[in-house]
Structures are given as C-alpha cells and as structure tokens.
Amino acid sequence: MISVQDGQNHVLAQVTSCASAELIAVPSALHRVLASDLRAPFDVPPTDNSAVDGYAVSSADLRAEGVRALEVVAELPAGAVYERALEPGQALRIMTGAPIPAAADTVIPQEVARREGATVWLPPHPKGANVRMRGEDVTADTVVLEAGIVLRPQELGLISSLGFPQVCVHVRPRVALLSTGDEVVEPGQPRHAGQIYDSNRFALRASVEQCGGDVVDLGIVPDVRDELRGRLLDAGRTADIVIRSGGVAGGEHDLVKEGRRRLFPELFEAKAAEPMRKKTGRREFKRGILGYREGRWEVRTTGPQGSGILSSMVAGNCLIVIEEDRGDVATGESVWVEPFVS
C-alpha cells in the first residue's frame, strides 16, 4: 500500500499536456483555460481623460486662494474630442471619460463650480487633479493575462476592453466515464435483488463538467474481463482521460490512461467540533461539514462514513483529512480539511 500523497504524485508524474489550443469568441470563453499570454495592444486608458464631470482647465489659470472666473468655450461629452487647445482664461465643460484637451492639465468637479451662462467660477485645485493619465492602468505590450488561468467574468471583461473579439484557449479535455460491475444498474431500469443503482458515474460526470471537461459516457460494463479490457482500450483511443468506477474493493488494479492535470484543492486547518475515530497507519478521509463560528473554522463529520452512503456526500461540503501517523481526534483539536469545489 502506498500513501495518498505518493499516489497523487505517481499520477501527476505521468500527466502530459494533451490539450491543443483553439480560437473562440470571447462570450463563449467563460471557465476556459487561456492558452497563451495576452498582451495589451495599446495603453489603457489610451489618452489622458477626465475622472469626473466638471471643467478642464490649465492649472496656471487657477488662483492659489479664492475663485477664478473663466470662459466656458465648449462642452465635451465622453466619446468626443476637442480639437483645439485651450487658451489662457478658458475652461472646457467635460464629462467623465472624455479626453483632456491640449493645454489643460486639471479637472475641477462640477460640484464645486459655480456657473452663469458662459462664465464659470472655479476654486483652487492642485495640478493634475481628477485626470486619469494615459497608460496608468495598463501600458502597451505588457502581459495582462498569463497563460494557464481560468477565465472568469472579470477576465472576459478585460479581454473585451482591449478590443479582442476572440481569445486563444485550450481545447476541453475529453473524459470517458464508465462504471463496472454486474451489481450496478442504470437508474430507471429494473433493479434485481443484490443490485444497486449507479450513482458514482453521475457524480463524476458532474464533477468533470464542473472542471471544464467534455464527458464521453460509456455506461456500465459487466464483470467480463475481455469486455472490460476492450472498452478501456477503446476509451483510451477516443478520450484524453478514462475514469472507471468500481472493481477495486478486492485489490484489482486496472490500467487507466491519464491525460489531464488533476487539481487538488488546498488544505487548511479547522477545529474538530466533535471526536473522530481514526486508525493509525493510514490516511483517512471523512466527509465533513465545515463552518465558520466565533472567529474560527470548525468541522464535524456528516455521520456514518460508509462508502455506500451517498447522502453524506450531499450533506458535506469538505473532506476531513487525517494523516497516517495520527490516531483518534479529540474535540477542539486541529484537523486538515479539503473543501469541495462549489
């Protein structure tokens, strides 16, 4: 018998990058994995622009104390450009996001201005106030998103803001699923004495799809060695990964083709909210219910931990991980927990 960690390392050591890349529309890229670094094609913002609705002026026209009357020469909405340069004694009515005109370097918010007709009275402000400078968010040709990240709504927004209609992502891995055993029956079919309905395959399918894989469902394979071997070989030829459920209770070890990186959620510590029984010499995983109470994380088991008790998987939100060299856990002691992906 090997430890869980050694088993994980053994699998990961055989994984190679099997996913090629494809170019898809940005709206279709949610939860996909970026295949190459994304660089900004231009500065963001592309020009100096106003951070507020107000009046663009030259700071040289403002007084150190008291208000200064200036002539309002035009109004500039966002999306438009003022083609001329401001002259001394002039102000430009400007909206948030509009480009700062030549010879202006400061924006006075409208809330502190007093206007009558074409004249506006403005109080002192420091040079550069309320101006968003060109490139202050992103400078041209910098990497804004690194290859390998999972694209969330915020990344899609950033990609679109840079003018990209498409993005290069990894192709979804194809994952073949099959259950084995004469005792397993498809839900909806007659169940004879000694048989159970297949549940693992459906839970695995949902987990694979949640992680971004495309599932090839191969159904249930009976306990016939040649048929199982043939189905596994066929699955290996058509899928990047083959996941088989069942047939391991008696120590049978079957070849499974790994082709996909498996991500293990990070462990962190929580306090045991109840005593937990544990045999030394092996690592144990208990289905748990994790919660935050009185300033700390606490965890308790879901109850009976038998492998056939699927209801405890529904009740739980984590795995409690108890190391090989540890025995029983007392209430209040720290244990490792591995949260489920929500």
State the pLDDT confidence band at 321, using cuts at 50, 70 and 90.
very high
Name the architecture of domain 1-17+172-263.
Answer: 3-Layer(aba) Sandwich (3.40)
For residue 232, the model assigns a pLDDT of 81
pLDDT for 261 beyond 50: no
- Residues 3-38 pLDDT 10s: 778 777 777 766 766 678 999 999 999 999 999 999
For residue 255, the model assigns a pLDDT of 29
State the pLDDT confidence band at 260, using cuts at 50, 70 and 90.
very low
Per-domain boundaries in the chain: 1-17+172-263, 20-42+141-170, 49-132, 268-339
**Segment holding 76, helix H or strand E:** strand 68-76
Is the bond preceding residue 165 a cis peptide, omega within 30 degrees? no
The DSSP output letter for 14 is: T
Q: Which amino acid is at 318?
A: C
For residue 258, the model assigns a pLDDT of 28
For residue 233, the model assigns a pLDDT of 76
> 10 Å Cβ neighbour count for 299?
26
- Topology classification of domain 268-339: Beta-clip (2.40.340)
- The CATH class that applies to domain 49-132 reads mainly beta
For residue 259, the model assigns a pLDDT of 26
State the pLDDT confidence band at 104, using cuts at 50, 70 and 90.
very high
Tokens of 125: 């402000």
pLDDT for 264 beyond 90: no
Q: Which residue has the higher pLDDT, 134 or 18?
A: 134
pLDDT for 95 beyond 70: yes
**Same fold for the domain at 20-42+141-170 and the one at 49-132?**
no
**149: helix, coil or strand?**
coil
Q: Which residue has the higher pLDDT, 236 or 99?
A: 99
> 10 Å Cβ neighbour count for 160?
13
- Topology classification of domain 20-42+141-170: Molybdopterin biosynthesis moea protein, domain 2 (3.90.105)
Beta bridge partners of 68: 122
State the pLDDT confidence band at 249, using cuts at 50, 70 and 90.
low
State the pLDDT confidence band at 240, using cuts at 50, 70 and 90.
confident
**225: helix, coil or strand?**
helix
Residue 184: which residues within 8 A CB-CB, separation 6 or more? 195, 196, 197, 198, 220, 246
Residue written as token pair 């049978």: 252
CA-CA distance, 320 to 300, in Å (whole number)?
8
Q: What is the mean pLDDT of the chain?
A: 87
- The structure's pTM equals 0.64
Mean pLDDT, residues 219-237 taken together: 81
Asked if residues 234 and 174 have their Cβ atoms less than 8 Å apart, the reply is: no
Q: Which residue has the higher pLDDT, 308 or 200?
A: 200
Beta bridge partners of 62: none
pLDDT for 215 beyond 70: yes
Residue 268: which residues within 8 A CB-CB, separation 6 or more? 297, 336, 337
pLDDT for 224 beyond 90: no
- What radius of gyration, in Å, describes the C-alpha atoms of the chain? 31
- Residues 172-195 pLDDT 10s: 999 999 998 888 899 999 998 888
Percentage, residues of the chain above pLDDT 70: 89
